[in-house]
């Protein structure tokens, strides 16, 4: 089956686009273009206006000023229906799938059926199989979407666009949720599409990805284009500087600290996962005060369930969790929080924040019943204002005001808000799951420095991340989790990429040494 480009797009150009939101100019006279066969990367800090610009192109927002040209001719894009008609497709930062429907039904949604008013899911499935064959996008058309892993869901999103014959594909942070192997596979697909004449717009915070995949890069800062460069003529350092507006350290300073007694102790922990099977199988760990223990491993190997069990969101079926010697197994989250536990969840929208509350309300969420936010049963609004203002300043949270609904913040700023809330409580134990996923390099640098600074505060930190660089830069010791078990714990100095890689594939330390 050959390429279904039903639309011919030679070039797409955005001219002088302006978009204002209450308190911010998200796009400030932006010029941007992409040609057939080109992969054009869009780079910028959290809140720089990347998603906004792409939503304008896709017809989800209307620009206040400016125009869009396709093949040199101005076009009106009033809704996604228009842009699909014109041959545009978008993979959204947060997936747009209907979990209760099958893959084929998700693809067929909104399309004309070959059988008139009746659904033609068999036909769709068949074409879908052919398409996934062509592009190496493995997915079962009859599977229900809720059963799919994130990587598979993303393939469905790409197939949805390809199926509609999209000639231009916008990918908004497609790699944020993928494992390194999946990123490699995605890149193969993207290169193939470009070679066949598709235009691609690629958004990512990871500079090495941008350098590896794109032909040109446009850097946005505060809604404005800083510069458009040829990828071949630039470097990681230059891009980082353009993005952040200053030199960025790509490595954190780690002062030596004296570790204390074990603060978080986990003994033979068993936790059941969503599918009803044990996800954590007899894990034992110890983290001393002042220490960061990193857990590496491909996600889905029990890391999330481990974190949720410690945070009191999931009851362990067996085993013990101790904080400073006190048995806290099965405690409610509220009680754990009062006893010095802080949790940065990887599911930031589900477990981390309330989208419909304001920035201020989210900042006081966990402690609204206590000083400094409350006096007796009353909220102390004066203290709340000064305290939250301080948190916003200290953690460089970019928001128009304290009263802005949280949903209007960009992803990275939401993450900084969670960090601000969790760290200002001076936690004894901190669980940080994927703390910088989808976060720009400036904020990543900042979050990393705050996590390292917690060591001096004697916090015991459990850091869970799929990003091996992050784990190796921050951790004092590194454990690898595989199929619910700890494959071994390495001292920072011994943790070579090779050793970690083998452990992530299920080879334990002992067998590496004996073999």
Partner 1 sequence: MIADLFAANVIIGILTSGIRLATPYLYASIGETFGQLSGVLNLGVDGMMLMGAYAGFYVTFHTGNPWLGLLVAILVGALMGLAMAFISVTLKAEQGISGIGVYLFGLGMSDLLFQKTLGTVETVSGFAPLNIPLLSDIPVLGTVFFSHNILVYGAFLLVPVAWFILNKTTLGLKIKAVGQNPAAADALGVSVARVRYATVTLGGALAGLAGASLSIALLNVFQQNLTSGMGFIAVALVYFGGWTPTGVLLGSLLFSSVNALQLWVQILGIPIPSDFAVMMPYVLTILALIFAVRKVNQPASLSKVFERGEG
Ligand X SMILES: Nc1ncnc2c1ncn2[C@@H]1O[C@H](COP(=O)(O)OP(=O)(O)OP(=O)(O)O)[C@@H](O)[C@H]1O
Residues that bind partner 1 (CB under 8 A): 55, 58, 60-61, 79-82, 84-85, 90, 92, 94, 96-101, 105-106, 108-113, 117-119, 160, 355, 407
Residues in contact with 278: Cβ distance below 8 Å, sequence separation at least 6, in sequence order: 270, 271, 272, 317, 484
Smallest distance, Å, CB 119 to partner 1?
6
| Per-residue binder mask for ligand X (CB under 6 A), 89-128, x = binder | ----x-----------------------------------
Other beta carbons within 10 angstroms of residue 473's beta carbon come to 17
Q: Which residues pair with 42 in a beta bridge?
A: 203, 218
Instruction: Determine the length of the chain.
Output: 515
Q: Which residues pair with 501 in a beta bridge?
A: none
| Residue 412: contacted member of Mg ion, partner 1, ligand X, none (CB under 5 to 8 Å, by partner type) | ligand X
Q: Is residue 47 near ligand X by the rule CB under 6 A? A: yes
* CB-nearer residue toward partner 1: 161 or 397: 161
Q: Which stretch binds ligand X (CB under 6 A): 47-55, 296-304, 347-355, 366-374?
A: 47-55
Residue 372 has, within 13 A of its CA and on its CB side, a CA count of: 13
Residue among 9, 14, 17, 52 that touches ligand X (CB under 6 A): 52
Distance CA 466, CA 434 (A): 7
| Per-residue binder mask for Mg ion (CB under 5 A), 74-113, x = binder | -------------------x--------------------
- List the structure tokens of 97: 């799938």
Number of H helices, E strands in the chain: 17, 22
* CB-nearer residue toward partner 1: 87 or 312: 87
| Residue 90: contacted member of partner 1, Mg ion, ligand X, none (CB under 5 to 8 Å, by partner type) | partner 1
- List the structure tokens of 407: 């949903």
Q: Is residue 312 near ligand X by the rule CB under 6 A? A: no
Smallest distance, Å, CB 423 to ligand X?
20
Residue 157 burial (CB < 10 Å; 0-12/13-18/19+)? Answer: buried
Residue among 49, 151, 174, 316 that touches ligand X (CB under 6 A): 49
Q: Is residue 154 near Mg ion by the rule CB under 5 A? A: no
- List the structure tokens of 334: 């509220």
Q: Is residue 222 near ligand X by the rule CB under 6 A? A: no
Q: Provide the angle, in degrees to the nearest 10, between the axes of the packed helices 411-424 and 441-456.
A: 10
Q: Three-class SS of residue 65?
A: strand
User: In this structure, what are the phi and psi dihedrals at residue 80, rounded to the nearest 5 degrees?
Assistant: -55, -30
Which residues inside 451-510 make contact with ligand X, applying CB under 6 A?
Answer: none
Distance CA 330, CA 314 (A): 8
- The pairing of strands 460-464 and 429-433 is parallel
Q: Is residue 46 near ligand X by the rule CB under 6 A? A: yes
CA nearest to 421, candidates 309, 336, 343, 348: 343
Q: Is residue 461 near Mg ion by the rule CB under 5 A? A: no
Q: Which stretch binds ligand X (CB under 6 A): 39-47, 241-249, 273-281, 343-351?
A: 39-47
* CB-nearer residue toward ligand X: 14 or 121: 14
Q: Which stretch binds ligand X (CB under 6 A): 40-48, 252-260, 470-478, 494-502?
A: 40-48
Residue among 15, 21, 101, 189 that touches ligand X (CB under 6 A): 21
* CB-nearer residue toward partner 1: 143 or 338: 143
Quickly tell me which residue has 């009033």 as its tokens.
78
Smallest distance, Å, CB 88 to ligand X?
18
Q: Provide the angle, in degrees to the nearest 10, between the axes of the packed helices 236-244 and 441-456.
A: 90
Residue among 59, 141, 352, 412 that touches ligand X (CB under 6 A): 412
Distance CA 191, CA 255 (A): 43
Handedness of CA 393, 399, 405, 406 (dihedral sign): negative
| Residue 69: contacted member of partner 1, Mg ion, ligand X, none (CB under 5 to 8 Å, by partner type) | none
| Residue 26: contacted member of Mg ion, ligand X, partner 1, none (CB under 5 to 8 Å, by partner type) | ligand X
User: In this structure, what are the phi and psi dihedrals at residue 480, rounded to the nearest 5 degrees?
Assistant: -120, 130
Smallest distance, Å, CB 51 to Mg ion?
3
Q: Is residue 51 near Mg ion by the rule CB under 5 A? A: yes
Residue 315 has, within 13 A of its CA and on its CB side, a CA count of: 4
Binding site for Mg ion (CB under 5 A): 51, 93
Binding site for ligand X (CB under 6 A): 21, 24, 26, 44, 46-52, 93, 408-412, 440
């Amino acid at each position: 089956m050959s390429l279904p480009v039903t639309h011919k797009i030679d070039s797409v150009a955005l001219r002088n686009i302006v978009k204002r939101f209450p308190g911010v100019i998200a796009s400030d006279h932006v010029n941007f273009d992409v040609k057939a066969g080109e992969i054009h990367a869009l780079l910028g800090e959290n809140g720089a206006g990347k998603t906004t610009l792409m939503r304008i192109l896709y017809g989800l927002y209307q620009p206040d000023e400016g125009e869009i040209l396709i093949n040199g001719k101005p076009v009106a894009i009033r809704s996604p229906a228009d842009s699909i008609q014109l041959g545009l497709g978008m993979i959204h930062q947060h997936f747009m799938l209907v979990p209760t429907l099958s893959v084929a039904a998700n693809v067929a949604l909104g399309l004309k059926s070959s059988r008139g008013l009746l659904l033609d899911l068999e036909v769709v499935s068949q074409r879908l199989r052919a398409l996934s064959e062509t592009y190496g996008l493995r997915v079962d058309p009859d599977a229900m979407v809720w059963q799919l892993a994130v990587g598979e869901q993303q393939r469905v999103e790409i197939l949805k666009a390809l199926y509609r014959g999209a000639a231009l594909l916008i990918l908004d942070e497609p790699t944020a949720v993928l494992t390194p192997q999946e990123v490699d596979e995605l890149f193969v697909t993207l290169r193939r599409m470009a070679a066949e004449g598709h235009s691609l717009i690629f958004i990512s915070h990871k500079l090495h990805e941008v350098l590896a995949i794109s032909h040109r890069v446009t850097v946005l800062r505060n809604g404005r284009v800083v510069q458009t460069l040829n990828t071949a003529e630039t470097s990681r350092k230059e891009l980082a500087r353009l993005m952040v507006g200053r030199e960025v350290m790509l490595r954190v300073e780690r002062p030596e600290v004296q570790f204390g007694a074990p603060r978080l102790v986990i003994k033979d922990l068993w936790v059941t996962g969503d599918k009803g099977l044990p996800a954590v199988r007899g894990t034992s760990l110890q983290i001393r005060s002042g220490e960061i223990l990193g857990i590496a491993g491909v996600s889905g190997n029990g890391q999330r369930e481990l974190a949720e069990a410690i945070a009191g969101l999931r009851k362990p079926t067996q085993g013990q969790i101790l904080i400073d010697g006190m048995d806290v197994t099965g405690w409610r989250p509220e009680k754990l929080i009062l006893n010095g536990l802080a949790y940065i969840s990887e599911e930031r929208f589900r477990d981390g924040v309330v989208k419909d509350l304001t920035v201020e309300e989210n900042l006081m969420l966990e402690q609204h019943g206590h000083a400094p936010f409350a006096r007796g049963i009353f909220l102390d609004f004066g203290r709340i204002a000064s305290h939250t203002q301080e948190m916003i300043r200290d953690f460089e949270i970019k928001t128009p005001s304290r009263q802005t609904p949280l949903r209007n913040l960009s992803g990275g700023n939401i993450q900084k808000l969670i960090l601000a809330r969790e760290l200002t409580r001076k936690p004894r134990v901190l669980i940080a799951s994927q703390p910088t996923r989808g976060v720009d390099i400036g904020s990543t640098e900042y979050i990393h420095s705050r996590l390292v600074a917690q060591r001096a505060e004697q916090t015991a930190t459990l850091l869970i991340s799929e990003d091996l660089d992050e784990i190796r830069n921050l951790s004092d010791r590194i454990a690898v989790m595989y199929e619910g078990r700890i494959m071994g714990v390495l001292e920072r100095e011994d943790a070579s990429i090779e050793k970690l890689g083998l452990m992530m594939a299920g080879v334990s330390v002992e067998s590496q040494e004996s073999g």
